[in-house]
Amino acid sequence: MNVLGIETSCDETGIALYDNDKGVLAEALYSQIATHAEYGGVVPELASRDHIRKLSPLITQVLKDSGCTPVDIDGVAYTQGPGLVGALLTGAALARSLAWSWDVPALGVHHMEGHLLVPMLEDPAPEFPFISLLVSGGHTQLIQVDGLGKYQILGESVDDAAGEAFDKTAKLLGLDYPGGPALSALARQGNPERFTFPRPMTKRPGLDFSFSGLKTFALTTWQQHQDDNDREQLKADIAKAFEIAVVETLLFKCKRALKQTGLKRLVIAGGVSANQGLRDGLTRLQNELGIEVFSPRPARCTDNGIMIAYAGCLRLQRGESNDLNFQVRPRWSLENIN
């Protein structure tokens, strides 16, 4: 089955063709963030999240790259939610219309299900069941994945997502927003012994996270050392202490989730999974607990069309499809997926 996937939940326009026999046939991605990063990391503009302008050329490109024509397509999957309502509607309306004109089924897919399942396309792929840590600018969640559509949120951030805490702390230290990666780079020059930041919510039971207080802790530390002669070193030392606190907290909760569930496979995805401190920590965890750690390639950690095509294909193969109506779900919990 050959499925066209359309992802338009936020900043990225992602298109892909996935065939359950042949794998990923072609993909195309337009990212407003990447374009702006070349010009110094300007805040992505919603106004230019113009999926309408990008969708048609990207679909044409994917068809061309794959050597397919519309008659080769057996289904169309699109992101139904969660996300920005206008962005979702654009993709959904086009997907539904294309499927109608090509006389194939259409199916709305949950964005986070795409993120959870896309590691299955890697080699080696994790087998069900596994624990997934989704950690990005918008999400910090620990999820138990038992199979297609069988997801249980074990814990999540009660306030700021980890990536958001990185970006905002970077901003407090005078770096450009979003400055998470710059903060990590700065942390490499930092002295890990100088400051110790709290590890939020590790002293009480449960698997929830809270990162908002770390941001304020960083700010207070910064203000208390305003008389420092070496401001750059101060910044780096704060960045280091902050990064260690976030990474240690994430690892602590992963470990607790694995112990609590007795599972032996951990998947890590989302933009923050590129953080070197986190990667090193996961290697330690792997050795310490005798578990397997999986991570999709970086391009599939962030939003993309492949994950939608893949999740859509699995569900279309089960016989699921939408009727001629379509609706988007800007707020949609993963646990209300079926």
Partner 1 sequence: MKTLHRHIEDSEQMLALGQQLAQRANQGLLIYLYGDLGTGKTTFSRGFIQARGHQGKVKSPTYTLVEQYELSPAVYHFDLYRLADPEELDYLGLADYLTPPVIWLVEWPEQGGDFLPQPDLSLHISHQGTARDVRLQAQSDKGQKLLTELANAPST
In the complex, the residues that contact partner 1 under the rule CB under 8 A are 42-47, 49, 82, 84-87, 137-138, 156-161, 164, 168, 171-172, 208, 212, 215-216, 218-220, 223, 331
Pull the structure tokens for residue 260. Answer: 């609590």
Least distance (Å) from partner 1 to the CB of residue 105? 29
E-state strands within the chain = 2-7, 12-19, 23-31, 75-81, 106-110, 130-135, 140-147, 150-156, 265-269, 292-294
Which CB atom, from 27 or from 164, has the smaller least distance to partner 1?
A: 164
Least distance (Å) from partner 1 to the CB of residue 308? 19
Which CB atom, from 27 or from 208, has the smaller least distance to partner 1?
A: 208
Least distance (Å) from partner 1 to the CB of residue 256? 19
Least distance (Å) from partner 1 to the CB of residue 82? 8
Least distance (Å) from partner 1 to the CB of residue 224? 9
Say if CB 103 and CB 75 are below 8 A apart: no
Which CB atom, from 171 or from 279, has the smaller least distance to partner 1?
A: 171
Select from 220, 221, 137, 235 the least CA-distant residue to 185.
235
Which CB atom, from 46 or from 125, has the smaller least distance to partner 1?
A: 46
Least distance (Å) from partner 1 to the CB of residue 36? 9
Identify the sign of the CA torsion 33, 37, 39, 40: positive
Which CB atom, from 114 or from 312, has the smaller least distance to partner 1?
A: 114
Which CB atom, from 2 or from 157, has the smaller least distance to partner 1?
A: 157
Select from 94, 143, 88, 89 the least CA-distant residue to 111.
88
Least distance (Å) from partner 1 to the CB of residue 167? 8
In the block, residue with structure tokens 């999957």:
77
In the block, residue with structure tokens 């700065």:
186
Least distance (Å) from partner 1 to the CB of residue 63? 29
Which CB atom, from 2 or from 90, has the smaller least distance to partner 1?
A: 90
What torsion, rounded to 10 degrees, do the Cα atoms 322, 65, 118, 84 define?
A: -60
Q: Quick count: other Cβ atoms within 10 Å of Cβ 220?
A: 10
Backbone angles phi, psi at 95, to 5 degrees: -60, -45
Show the CA angle centred on residue 236, arms to residues 231 and 239, nearest 5°.
125
Q: Quick count: other Cβ atoms within 10 Å of Cβ 280?
A: 12
Which CB atom, from 193 or from 203, has the smaller least distance to partner 1?
A: 203
3-class SS of residue 282: helix
Q: Quick count: other Cβ atoms within 10 Å of Cβ 327?
A: 11
* Position 55, amino acid: L
